Structure 1
Amino acid sequence: MDINPTLLSYLSDLEGAVANLSDSWHPDDPAYQADLYRQTLTSLSYSYFVYFHATPEHPDWAPLWNPVFTLQPNPDDIYVQSPIRGDLSYRVSGNRGTCKILSFTSQTAASGTVDQMPRPNGHNELDTNDLGIGLGEEFEILFSAERPAGYSGHWGRIDPTATYMYLRYRSYDWLNEVDPQLSIECLDPVPPKPRLTPEEIIERIGEMAKFPRRKTDLYYPMQNGVKERVGFNVFEPVRYPGALVKQVYWPACFQFDADEALIIETELPAHAPYWNIQLNDPLFNALEYVYRLSSTNGHYARLSSDGKYRAVIALNDPGVPNWLDPAGYLEGGIYGRWYECDSEPTPTITRVRLADLRDHLPPDTPHISAEERAEELRLRVKACQRRRRW
């Protein structure tokens, strides 16, 4: 391979992601263009971990979506990843922590690493709750394509074609639940981790440059499809195959004017181990969720006196419970989740004048003072910073 000293020449495929501006809602809007440039670089930033941090023979957890917010991570989830090989065996061990869910997902290919995601994707998922691993418990799980003869411990299957494993630690009470502490080891004899050759480095830089476009190719149609099928301010529930098949999503695309508000209203399932709602930008990135109240879940949500959940999307604090802050956006996406619930109600969205907001809420809806809101945000920042996002 001819090693060209001009780094920019190896990154030319980044323009593929920029070309996807044509698939955004307003391709000629300078704000959309700037958001796309930012999204391209956020995807590029974490693609380094995909191609350089670890190898299947020398696995190690690395950050996934959390530090960069790109392509709609759930704010309640911490995601980590490691490359693996389906013909090798791995031991994951450590402490379960006390978070709501700890699940492992292995796949033939990770999104962003191939032009076309395989169907099926050699997909396997394992939830420690299903294994009976208790909160705060020390444990280990053997992952392999086949269970070893006579092995009686915790075991998880990985597809023989697997190249990738990711974990999600889902927390309800961000401040008080404890995230897991885990290691991953390859159990097969392998040589020492090698120094990369110049050719290998250049090849991986080229794959990094393709990564942002591959991500947007996959994820833009998800949010665009909702808008095309049902328009704005309407939820379209869906259950995806693959990861978290126990979960029903309720996506929507929101839109309102600066002097308006959106009221989200829903019944709640009688049995609801977990549910949440979050706001995304028009390019399917999670909005700032550390210093903005752009998401909530069943632990933090305040219900109305009639038992319903009501949230309000407004540019500025409307002084009511469950404000979802759109972080300066007047349009974007909404994602909600019912997880292992005994029913799956579809919420509604009502667009109202901000000045008339309280006319559309129960009369006993409390007023949230500026001091109360500041304390709510302070605790959120404190809790989120204590979670492992890097």
Structure 2
Amino acid sequence: MRFIMQVTSKAVVGREVAYRDWYKSYHLSDVLTLPGFKSATLDRQLGENENATGGFIARYEVEAETPAAAMQALGAAWPSMRHTEDTDADGTRVEFLVREAVESAKDVVEQVSDHDVSSYRDKILARALRTIQSPQVVRARQLAAMRFRWVLRDDPPDEAWSSFDAMMDEYVFNNALKAANADPNYPEVMLNYAMPHQWHGIHVPGSRVNGDNCDNAYRLIPIDGKANFRLEGRRAAYGPSDVTFTLVGNWEMTKTLAGLEGSSLEYGPDGRFVITIGPDPANGKPNHIQSRPGAVMLFVRDSLGDWDQQPNEMRIQRLDPPDAPPMTDQQIAERAAELIIDSVPQVYWYLKYIHGSPNAFPQLIKSDTAGGLSTQRGNAASAILADDEAMILTFDPCGVNYFSVICQDYWWITMDYGQITSSRNTAQSALNEDGTVTYVVCGQDPGVHNWIDTAGLHNVVLNVRLQGLPTELEKEPLITSRIVKLRDLDASLPAGMRRATAEQRTAEIAERMRQVAERYARI
């Protein structure tokens, strides 16, 4: 399999020239002596106004069985390579992309739609990236981190504290993106709650918080309760399993004011749709959401029950004249700082809830009780597993178009779901003979198809969702969970449960990587 291995690194301040010379004269050639490393390029990382940041991006074309195999070969050769003291040790990051996926994703971007997605998204990204460097946000991050440490105290295990700074990075960028597109006078459709990815050559930091769903494309649109808006969209030929439009009254997306379910959305013959949002009632008008005082965002979820599905294309138009000029960078930074501080209690509440009863998964509940969907049943709970243990989860998916089990770290953030099977949805799961579905959650491959990989973590969060259910059910879906030793696993599984070989797992990971790369190139 062919990969692009992208390494982002940074020089010690004042040593950029020496670092670049070492990289070009020694390091690239050292790496290219390894089997499977075919070619390499080195570029400077530029910031605002094309100014150098001291960072560099190296891209290697690699042919290897898996990304892990390439990293293992690199690690084995590392001691014998020529090194430098000019590297900022905290500034290095390694990412893998499937080369074929990158090339096909570029084609998708060129063909995607008649909406100029790239221009407004680039503009909002630039605002958000400037915002996280502002003094207001730097200070707010420090205060938020301090408050998290105060209230959490000794609750998180050591392995969780090791990723605390990474969690804070995503938490801050999530709020910076919201602030950069917070003005209902000049609304845009903006992706948020996403893993780190590339967009038109820009490295976009992660923005995952509060139990993000790796099957969802989350888009946020600023809305107020007094103006009228028109949302135009188009469904792809292979569109999402479910889509919901939720008007929310807080920045944590947990206060639902109104909404429109995908099952009620009316499309034209070409897959196009128009949704109106405004203070007037629908009075029989289809595809209308009545806004409310206090509305701040339209929260759009495209749920991909198959990762080859494509999210809907959308653009927003405010129909009333703006009543204020665009927000300045100063105002955006102040808004982001406010959100970073004010959202701490909500994140803390979620963490206390999901870690309350480890290893005993609760029954599924209506998600609108915690800011979710009225047609969704779900819940989350923590699992604490030793190296020789697994959790077995079984439930009835009730024939819905979309269901999923997602493993997240202690901070309730998804892992690198392209490179490991830390999640499974409708298309990625194999049903039992009786129509139920069973998953095995553990840190080493148990040889079953429905493996949920904990990435070696011992304290994780499991999130289960069933979406698209009737508003009222005669019988609620039941879920069972239990912890078993790995040596007893086979005897504990349903008869006929599908197995997976090492070769099948390798092919599955390659497919996931392709799908993730293509998704983030589209939206």
TM-score by shorter chain over 0.5:
yes
* Structure 2 equivalent of residue 322 of structure 1: 450
C-alpha RMSD of matched pairs (Å): 2.8
Distance 1:38 1:361 in 2: 36
Asked if the contact 2:242–2:402 (Cα under 8 Å) also holds between the matched residues in 1, the reply is no
Which deviates further from its counterpart, 340-349 or 364-373?
A: 340-349
Distance 1:28 1:367 in 2: 35
Which deviates further from its counterpart, 349-358 or 87-96?
A: 349-358
Which deviates further from its counterpart, 134-143 or 245-254?
A: 134-143
Asked if the contact 2:421–2:451 (Cα under 8 Å) also holds between the matched residues in 1, the reply is yes
Read off the aligned partner of 1:108 and give its amino acid letter.
Answer: G
* DSSP 3-state at the match of 1:179: coil
Are 2:377 and 1:238 equivalent residues in the alignment? no
Asked if the contact 1:267–1:308 (Cα under 8 Å) also holds between the matched residues in 2, the reply is yes
Q: Percent identity?
A: 20
Structure with higher RCO (Cα < 8 A, 6+ apart): 1
* DSSP 3-state at the match of 1:296: strand
Cα offset, 1:266, TM superposition: 2.4
Using structure 1 for the length normalisation, give the TM-score: 0.85
1:34 to 1:193, Cα distance in 2 relative to 1, 3 A: farther
Which whole-Å deviations, capped at 9, do the CAs of 1:122-173 have from their partners, x for residues lacking one? 6111123213337961121211110489x95532211133121121111111
Are 2:485 and 1:353 equivalent residues in the alignment? yes
* DSSP 3-state at the match of 1:124: strand
Match for residue 87 of structure 1 among 226, 242, 248: 226
Read off the aligned partner of 2:360 and give its amino acid letter.
Answer: N
* Structure 1 equivalent of residue 497 of structure 2: 365
* DSSP 3-state at the match of 1:387: helix
Distance 2:506 2:269 in 1: 32
1:204 to 1:263, Cα distance in 2 relative to 1, 3 A: same
Cα offset, 1:87, TM superposition: 1.1
Cα offset, 1:362, TM superposition: 3.3
Are 2:272 and 1:144 equivalent residues in the alignment? no
Asked if the contact 1:82–1:165 (Cα under 8 Å) also holds between the matched residues in 2, the reply is yes
Query: Which aligned pairs between 1:117-132 and structure 2 lie closer than 5 A?
Result: 121=255, 123-132=257-266
Distance 1:291 1:92 in 2: 35
Cα offset, 1:311, TM superposition: 0.7
* Structure 2 equivalent of residue 70 of structure 1: 209
Distance 2:268 2:154 in 1: 48
Distance 2:185 2:266 in 1: 29
1:7 to 1:227, Cα distance in 2 relative to 1, 3 A: closer
Are 2:316 and 1:184 equivalent residues in the alignment? yes
Read off the aligned partner of 2:249 and give its amino acid letter.
Answer: T
Cα offset, 1:181, TM superposition: 0.7
Using structure 2 for the length normalisation, give the TM-score: 0.65
Which deviates further from its counterpart, 186-195 or 280-289?
A: 186-195
Match for residue 172 of structure 2 among 44, 53, 65: 44
Query: Which aligned pairs between 1:377-388 and structure 2 lie closer than 5 A?
Result: 377-388=509-520
Are 2:304 and 1:171 equivalent residues in the alignment? yes
Read off the aligned partner of 2:240 and give its amino acid letter.
Answer: C
Q: How many residues end up aligned between the 2 structures?
A: 370
Cα offset, 1:192, TM superposition: 9.0
* Structure 1 equivalent of residue 440 of structure 2: 312
Cα offset, 1:7, TM superposition: 5.0
Distance 1:153 1:353 in 2: 54
Which deviates further from its counterpart, 26-35 or 89-98?
A: 26-35
Distance 1:135 1:168 in 2: 22
Query: Which aligned pairs between 1:263-274 and structure 2 lie closer than 5 A?
Result: 263-269=392-398, 271-274=399-402
- Where does the alignment leave 5 or more consecutive residues of structure 1 unmatched? 1-5
Distance 2:209 2:464 in 1: 17
Read off the aligned partner of 1:266 and give its amino acid letter.
Answer: F
